[in-house]
Amino acid sequence: MAKLYFRYGAMNSGKSTALLQAAYNYEERGQRVLLAKPAIDTKGASQIASRLGMTREVDFLVGPDDDVRALFEEHRARVRAEMQEELLPAEPVDVACLLIDEAQFLTAAQIDDLFRIAVLDGIPVLAYGIRNDFRTQAFPGSARLLAVAHTLEELKTICRCGRKAVFNGRKIDDRFVFDGDQVAIDGASVTYESLCGDCYLRESGGVLG
């Protein structure tokens, strides 16, 4: 049985880099994959962008009301037709994996779609994202992934003090803020810094969430 994987970490833990590496590993072995991300993540438009400078176009974007399984089936059929035409194999061909970046921005229902793709359609799904927002509250997509994913894998990064970072501090004009909308994509004035628990509490004045 194929599995749903949730690979999570604080900001700057290399999630997008790891996703792009996973895609490369599959393709190096002659396999085809599909890449997707939530449309709400406007950073990089229709690209997955690593902080190391690597970029790649996604195969499809997921809107907040989209049926992820239906979108997947549409693009899966396209890829299978391309593979059949290119390779003319004796055996049926299929995509090897679905990779999702910024999975925390998906809805709980869309995470359930990912679970169905893995279990019912037999395609492994690798979802990458962060668990908590800048207020230490779980994103709906992440909360559902933590509940239903077959495998959880933490991607680690360090705080400025050298300890393991587990929280995501939001900065506006280079000053930490602890209230506001849950989603604010990196921009000219909004940035994020990965923090350990001690540094987060120091910056928040002892408030956790």
Q: Is 193 a catalytic residue?
A: no
Q: Which of 27, 82, 91, 102 is the catalytic position? A: 102
Extract the tokens encoding 1: 């049985």
Task: Summarize the chain as % helix, strand, coil (round to 5).
Answer: 30, 25, 45
Q: How far apart are CA 158 and CA 123, in angstroms?
A: 33
Q: How far apart are CA 185 and CA 201, in angstroms?
A: 23
Q: What is the DSSP letter of 164?
A: B
b/e map 109-137, b = 16+ CB within 10 Å? ebbbbbbebbbebebbbbbbbbbbbbbbe
Write out the catalytic residue numbers: 102
